[in-house]
């Protein structure tokens, strides 16, 4: 007599490292995938490969030198970081820039949004295997970089923002050149938008990849196009209305489905909005002098603290500045949008195919060097601290 047997299936989980150096990653980050066959069942997001000491440098330099330091947190969002920090200083000093300076600040930041979104859309195409589309998008992105150079004097590190205004004014010739560039690039964007909507390769790779429900986007505090791609109508430009955003018309773009394709469509919609904002600014620029006299700015700041917020291309960026009454800040705390979007989004990879992981990560538009965090354990007291790597040079007592 043969006894009945029961077959017990034991799932075999394979651990696959993606990074910290990987063709799909432009910066060092480790995604530790746990996969059952080709399906991802768990992801650990591990950071800690880039330490530059930005926040600690800010404590050791003057308030004004720090404008140039924080502008190097991110090469893509140079003007946005500088703007957020400068406005925090203006809140401490109770300084209100003239209207023309506010318009020019928005112009610089929207040009940055244009080239930033074109960059990540090109990367999305590259990750989907569409190299030709990547090259065409990057080629046309160079025209926007030229427009930024016409306005600020530099293609990448603009160093355009200053307390009380901006460093350079703009004349009619420059206005005409920037307007012509943006109008020509806008026509190209319409073509790329059509390709993303109709191309079979793009649609098969991006649709349903990394879907994030609206409730999850809210629960995990996701920001920027990632949140808006899941139907969350959040945008610091609309909520905070800093600089001239209360006068320049624009729409907050959202999509409902929440996958990698929806996030791409949000960025295309924002390209049109930014182009319209640039055209509005160039045709409605107020009169006046936007460049303050640096010699009249105070060398020492009053005691106090301030907090500023800006909608960077990747989402909500915040700066906290604390002054003890000298010429150097006591503390500068930076929270970048990639911190929320990358560290909190591990759940988006679960139940996806291994081959889709780079697509999903690319749809978040990751900026790793500006978002690093580390966990340090105090063995004597048995306490864990999560602090930014930028502070590892020493923590204030």
Q: pLDDT by residue (tens digit) across 315-368?
A: 999 999 999 999 999 999 999 999 899 989 999 999 999 999 999 999 999 888
Start-to-end CA distance of the chain, whole Å, equals 77
Q: How far is CA 167 from CA 63, 148, 279, in A?
A: 16, 14, 21
159 torsion bin: left (phi>0), alpha (psi -120 to 50), beta (else): left
pTM greater than 0.85: yes
Question: Cβ(341)–Cβ(223) under 8 Å?
Answer: yes
**Which pLDDT value is given to residue 174?**
96
Rounded to whole angstroms, how far apart are CA atoms 176 and 216?
Answer: 45
- Rounded to whole angstroms, the Cα distance separating 98 from 374 reads 41
Q: Is 16 helix (H, G, I), strand (E, B) or coil?
A: strand
For the chain, give every domain's residue range.
54-335
Please report, rounded to a whole number, the percentage of residues in the chain having pLDDT higher than 90.
Answer: 74
Contact present, 364 and 206 (Cβ < 8 Å): no
**pLDDT score, position 390:** 41
Quote the pLDDT of residue 181. 97
The Cα–Cα gap between 57 and 50 comes to 15
Q: How far apart are CA 255 and CA 266, in angstroms?
A: 6
CATH homologous superfamily of 54-335:
Cytochrome-c3 Hydrogenase, chain B (1.10.645.10)
pLDDT digits (tens, 9 = 90+) for 139-157: 999 999 999 999 999 998 8
In the predicted model, residues of the chain with pLDDT beneath 70 are 1-12, 24, 373-379, 382-397
DSSP string, 324-373: -SSSSEEEEEEE-HHHHHHHTTGGGGTTSBGGGHHHHHHHT----TTS-E
- Rounded-to-integer distance, Cα 219 and Cα 205, Å: 26
Shortest CA distance to 18 belongs to which of 51, 38, 45? Answer: 45
pLDDT on residue 21: 80
Rounded-to-integer distance, Cα 80 and Cα 62, Å: 20
* Cα–Cα distances in angstroms (integers) from residue 184 to residues 108, 111, 178, 191, 270, in the given order: 18, 14, 10, 12, 17
SS3 262: helix
Say how far apart CA 286 and CA 302 lie, in whole Å. Answer: 31
């Amino acid at each position: 007599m043969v006894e009945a047997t029961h077959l017990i299936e034991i799932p075999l989980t394979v651990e696959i490292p993606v990074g910290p150096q990987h063709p799909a990653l432009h910066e060092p980050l480790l995604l530790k995938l746990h996969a059952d066959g080709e399906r991802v069942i768990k992801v650990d997001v591990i950071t800690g490969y880039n330490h530059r000491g930005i926040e600690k440098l800010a404590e050791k330099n003057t308030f004004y030198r720090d404008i140039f330091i924080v502008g190097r947190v991110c090469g893509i969002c140079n003007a946005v970081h500088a703007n957020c920090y400068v406005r925090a200083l203006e809140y401490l000093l109770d300084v209100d820039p003239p209207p023309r300076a506010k318009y020019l600040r928005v112009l610089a930041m929207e040009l940055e949004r244009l080239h930033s979104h074109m960059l990540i859309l090109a990367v999305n195409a590259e990750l989907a295997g569409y190299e030709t589309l990547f090259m065409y998008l990057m080629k046309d992105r160079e025209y926007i970089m030229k427009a930024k150079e016409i306005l600020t004097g530099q293609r990448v590190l603009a160093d355009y923002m200053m307390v009380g205004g901006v460093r350079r004014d703009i004349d009619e010739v420059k206005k005409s050149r920037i307007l012509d560039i943006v109008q020509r690039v806008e026509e190209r964007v319409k073509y790329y938008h059509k390709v993303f909507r109709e191309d079979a390769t793009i649609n098969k790779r991006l649709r349903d990849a990394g879907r994030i429900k609206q409730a999850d986007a809210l629960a995990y505090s996701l920001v920027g196009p990632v949140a808006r791609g899941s139907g969350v109508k959040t945008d610091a430009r609309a909520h905070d209305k800093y600089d001239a955003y209360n006068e320049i018309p624009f729409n907050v773009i959202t999509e409902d489905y929440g996958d990698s394709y929806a996030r791409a469509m949000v960025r295309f919609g924002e390209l049109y909005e930014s182009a319209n904002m640039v055209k509005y600014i160039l045709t409605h620029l107020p009169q006046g002098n936007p460049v303050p006299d640096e010699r009249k700015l105070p060398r020492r700041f009053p005691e106090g603290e301030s907090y500023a917020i800006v909608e960077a291309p990747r989402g909500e960026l915040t700066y906290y500045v604390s002054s003890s009454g000298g010429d150097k800040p006591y503390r500068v705390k930076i929270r970048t949008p990639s911190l929320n979007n990358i560290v909190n989004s591990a759940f988006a990879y679960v139940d996806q195919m291994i081959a889709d992981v780079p697509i999903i990560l690319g749809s978040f538009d990751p900026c790793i060097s500006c978002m690093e965090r580390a966990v340090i354990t105090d063995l004597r007291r048995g306490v864990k601290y999560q602090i930014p790597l930028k502070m590892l040079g020493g923590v204030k007592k």
